[in-house]
A = this chain, B = another copy of it.
Amino acid sequence: MRLIVQKYGGTSVGSAERIRAVAQRLIETQRDQCRVVAVISAMAGVTDNLIKLAHEVAPHPTERELDKLLATGEHAATALTAMAVNALGAKAVSLTGAEAGVLTDRAHSRAKIANISPRHIQELLAEDFIVVVAGFQGHSPEGETTTLGRGGSDLSAIALAGALNADACEIYTDVDGVFTCDPRLVKDAQKIDEVAYDELLEMAGAGAKVMQSRAVEFAKKFSVPFEVRSSFTRGPGTIATEETANMEDVVIRGVSIDRKQAKITINGVPDSAGVAGRIFSAISAGEIIVDMIVQNVSAGNTTGISFTIHESELARTEELLRPVVDQIRATGVTSQSGVAKLSVVGIGMRSHSGVAARFFECLGRGGINIQLISTSEIKIAVVIDEADAERAAQLTHQEFGLGRTTGARQSR
C-alpha cells in the first residue's frame, strides 16, 4: 500500500466549504489504496489576525507565548479537517506537531526540526486512520510548543514524508504548479512538469514564491521528491526532484522577475581587505535583506560596490551607510529606486555555452539597458529599469522558447 503525504495551505482550508473539499480529496486518495497523512496550515487570515492581536497586547510578544498562540491556528484547522473527514464516512484523527513526533530545537518562532518520531502516526495509519497533522510546529526537548517560521508547513510536510519514507509528497496550493514565468506577465507561460531542487531554489530566490527555500533545501538534503499542485483543480502539478541527466537538455527552466528593487552603488571604495565586510555588517545590523551584490573591477586602487535591496528599505539603508562611507573614505554613494531584477534559471546552462550572451543580446535587441549583472552556476540575473521589466520577461521567455510548449522540447 502506498503512503502519501498531502499538504494543504491556508487558502486550501480557507472556509468550511474548502475544508470539506480537502476532506473529500483525502478520502478519495485513501480509497485509491493509499495510506494518507495530511499536513494542514491555519485557515487563511487566521495567523495574521493572531499576530495582530499579539502586537496589540504586547509591543514585543514573548516568543514562547507567541508560538503557543500561533500554533492554535493549525490546531483548529486540523480538528476541523478531521471532523469533516469523519462526517463523510471515513476515519480521521488530528495530531498537533508534538503528538506527531516533530521534535525541534528551542528556537521559538524559527525552530529547526531536529528529529521526527513517526511511530504514533504509523500506528494510526495501520488502523486505517487518515492522520491530519498540524503543520508549522513541533515541540522542544522540554515539551514546549515551537513554530518553524513562515512557510513552515511545507517544511513539516517534506520532513514527515522523509521520516515516513512516503511514496509521494504533494504540496497543495492555490496555483497549478511552477510556471516558466508569472502567467500574469507572460500570457503563454507554461506549467513545468519537472524541476530540479536547485532550479526551484534559484527561482524562489528570484521572486517566484511557490515554496519557501527552507522547505526545498530540506527536500534536497534528504532527497524527498514532492509535487506542487492545485487544491482547486484536478490536473497534475510540477514535480520537484533531484536533477536527472535529461533535465540538462533544457537550457532555461524559467524566467523570474523581482520588482520594486533599489540599486545602491558606493563609489571609490579603497581596494583593501575588510572593507566590504564593514559595509554589509552595517546594513545587516539594520536587518535589511540585501539581494545581488556586485563588485566592479578596480580602477586604480579603488573599486565600486553595487547591491540591490527592496525599494522600501532605501532611505534606511542610505542612513545606515552614511557613517560607514565616511569611515572607509569612499568617494560617494549613488542610488536608484524603480529597478527590477530579471533572472533566468536552468541547470541546462551548465552544459550549454553562450546562454548569457544569448540572454544579453535578446535584451539589447529590445533596447533594454542592463545596469548590473550577477551569475551563479545555474542562474543569470540582471538589474533593469522596472518600466522595462514586463517586456523584458516576455522577450526572454520567447527567446528561450519557453512558451511554445512545456519546457522539455525547447532546447536547440
Instruction: Report the separation of the CA atoms of residues A273 and B87 in the bound assembly, to the nearest whole angstrom.
Output: 44
Q: Which of B54, B56, B84, B93 makes the CB contact (< 8 A) with A58?
A: B84
The smallest C-beta distance from A112 to any residue of chain B, in angstroms, reads 22
- In the complex, chain B residues whose CB is within 8 Å of the CB of A56: 16-17
Does A300 reach chain B (CB closer than 8 Å)? no
* A82–B53 touching, CB < 8 Å: no
Q: CB-defined interface of A86-98 with B at 8 Å, one 1/0 digit per residue? A: 1100000110000
Smallest CB gap from A86: residue in B: B62
* B50–A64 touching, CB < 8 Å: no
How many chain copies?
2
Instruction: Report the separation of the CA atoms of residues A58 and B76 in the bound assembly, to the nearest whole angstrom.
Output: 14
* B54–A66 touching, CB < 8 Å: no
- In the complex, chain B residues whose CB is within 8 Å of the CB of A87: 57-61
The residue among A53, A62, A79, A86 with the most chain B CB atoms within 10 A of its own CB is A79
Q: CB-defined interface of A1-41 with B at 8 Å, one 1/0 digit per residue? A: 00000000000000011011001000000000000000000
* B20–A57 touching, CB < 8 Å: yes
Instruction: Report the separation of the CA atoms of residues A72 and B65 in the bound assembly, to the nearest whole angstrom.
Output: 13
Q: Which of B64, B68, B83 makes the CB contact (< 8 A) with A57?
A: B83
* B79–A66 touching, CB < 8 Å: yes
Q: Which of B62, B71, B94 makes the CB contact (< 8 A) with A65?
A: B94
Q: CB-defined interface of A339-359 with B at 8 Å, one 1/0 digit per residue? A: 000000000000000000000
Instruction: Report the separation of the CA atoms of residues A53 and B64 in the bound assembly, to the nearest whole angstrom.
Output: 28
Q: Given the interface contacts A53-B16, A53-B80, A80-B53, does A68 sit within 8 Å of B58 by beta carbon?
A: no
Which residues of A pack against B, CB within 8 Å? 16-17, 19-20, 23, 50, 53-54, 56-62, 64-66, 68-69, 71-72, 75-76, 78-84, 86-87, 93-94
16 cross-chain CB contacts under 8 A: A16-B57, A20-B57, A57-B80, A57-B83, A58-B84, A60-B87, A61-B86, A61-B87, A62-B82, A62-B83, A64-B93, A65-B82, A65-B86, A66-B83, A69-B80, A69-B83
